[in-house]
Chain A
Amino acid sequence: MFQRESIGIEEAEKARDSILGALTNTDNPIALVIADDRGVPVLLYREDGAPARMLRRARAKAYTSANLGVNTVDFRDNEIKAKNRTLNDWGDPMITSLQGGIAIRNNGNVVGGISMSGNTTIRDEALAQIGLDAMGLK
Chain B
Amino acid sequence: MINELVIGHADARLVAQAILDAAGTKNKPIAVAVVDNRGDVVYLTRQDGTSAVDVRNAERKAYTAAFIGRDTALWRQQIAHDGRTVADWSDANTTTLHGGWTLRRQSQVIGGIGVAGTGDEDRDEQLALKGAEAAAQISVDEWLTKRDPRIIRDR
Contact = CB atoms under 8 A, between A and B. Distances in A.
Contacts of A47: 9
- Chain B interface size, as a band, is 10 to 19
A124 to B, nearest CB: 18
B86 interface: no
Secondary structure of the A contact surface, majority rule: mixed
A44 B48 contact: no
A41 B55 contact: yes
Given A9-B46, A9-B47, A44 B41 contact: yes
Of A45, A47, A55, most buried by chain B (CB within 10 Å of CB) is A45
Given A52-B38, A52-B40, A42 B46 contact: yes
A46 interface: yes
Contacts of B151: none
B52 interface: yes
A12 B16 CA distance: 15
A68 interface: no
Contact of B40 (A12, A42, A46): A46
30 contacts: A9-B45, A9-B46, A9-B47, A9-B48, A10-B48, A12-B45, A38-B52, A40-B52, A40-B55, A41-B44, A41-B46, A42-B46, A43-B44, A43-B45, A43-B46, A44-B33, A44-B45, A45-B9, A45-B42, A45-B43, A46-B9, A46-B40, A46-B41, A46-B42, A46-B43, A48-B8, A48-B10, A52-B36, A52-B38, A55-B40
